[in-house]
Structure 1
Amino acid sequence: MKILAVDLGDTRTGLAVSDDSEFLASPVCIITERNKDVLLEKITDQAKQLGVCALVMGYPRNMDGSAGPRAQLCAQFAERLKESTGLPVTLWDERCTTVVATGYLNTTNVRGKKRKAVMDAAAASIILQDYLDYRRNQNR
């Protein structure tokens, strides 16, 4: 089944999708939108277009594992997303994904405006790949 990952941001939100076999996560797009109601509609539309069966939302825990204000905002948005799409939404720990994404983009020499254009989708891909790997390991 296809799974859509969401890396929620204040201005830019990254999306990534898995293949049907749940083996590989790939970036889809970045939605540039500050209005959370409009963002919710756009993500819901993407979920329908891509034919996903579930969503994974980055959950930005603090380094000590606690949930701060940002994590609470993501949890609230995840509930709205669940209602809007009618699909299950899993919150997934996204600690350090931006650091990892930055490392990947450095390795591939993506800099400047190009980096800004792909950073959030790359982070969403990392969140989703981590989730897919976890699911695969749990099934063994």
Structure 2
Amino acid sequence: MRIMGLDVGSKTVGVAISDELGWTAQGIETITINEEAKQFGYKRVQELVLLYQVEKVVVGLPKNMNNTIGPRAESSQKYAEVLANRLGKEVVLWDERLTTAQAERTLLEADVSRKKRKQVIDKLAAVMILQSYLDAHN
């Protein structure tokens, strides 16, 4: 059973997919979205769900450090709700505090250029979200 992980931001959605056994997460792409224009990339997510035969989707929930839900987390909750209705699949919210910061640190340690970091950071954050979920459930 493949599981998809999403890191939903205001401009992009990082996408990761598990292997068929649900042990490891790999980044597959970053979808450009535009919240102001109400373009959220749902269609592309649906295409990827079909292509990879995904059974479950994990959406990162960026809670505040004090465990409260702020505007960004509310947006992720809404994204997950709409996605669940469109896909007819289970969509799970997963605490992703500091995932993007961790992804940034990893890329800096690997000496990845600023331009390249910008291109891959959301995909790497999606990998970290999904891998955290997989580790907790295996």
- Shorter-normalised TM range: over 0.9
- Structure 2: state its 5+ residue gaps: none
1:81-131 Cα shifts (integer Å, max 9, x gaps): 001111100000010101110121112211211110000000000000000
Corresponding residue SS for 1:7: strand
Q: Equivalent residue for 1:12?
A: 12
Count of residue pairs brought into register by the alignment: 136
User: Over aligned residue pairs, what C-alpha RMSD do you find?
Assistant: 1.1
- Structure 1: state its 5+ residue gaps: none
1:38-64 Cα shifts (integer Å, max 9, x gaps): 511111111111111000000010000
Cα distance between partner residues in 1 of 2:134 and 2:38: 27
- Please list every run of at least 4 consecutive aligned residues from structure 1 whose deviation after the TM superposition is greater than 4 angstroms: 35-38
Q: Which is richer in helix?
A: 1
Corresponding residue SS for 1:117: helix
Q: TM-score with structure 1 length normalisation?
A: 0.93
Preserved contact between residue 62 and residue 73 of structure 2 (Cα < 8 Å): yes
Cα distance between partner residues in 1 of 2:113 and 2:14: 18
Q: Equivalent residue for 2:104?
A: 102
Residue of structure 2 aligned with 1:114, choices 104, 107, 116? 116
- Percent identity over the alignment is 38
Q: TM-score with structure 2 length normalisation?
A: 0.94
Query: In the alignment, does 2:132 pair up with 1:130?
Result: yes
Query: In the alignment, does 2:82 pair up with 1:86?
Result: no
1:12-35 Cα shifts (integer Å, max 9, x gaps): 110000001111101010011214
Corresponding residue SS for 1:53: strand
Aligned-partner residue type, residue 47 of structure 1: V
Q: Equivalent residue for 2:29?
A: 29
Corresponding residue SS for 1:66: coil
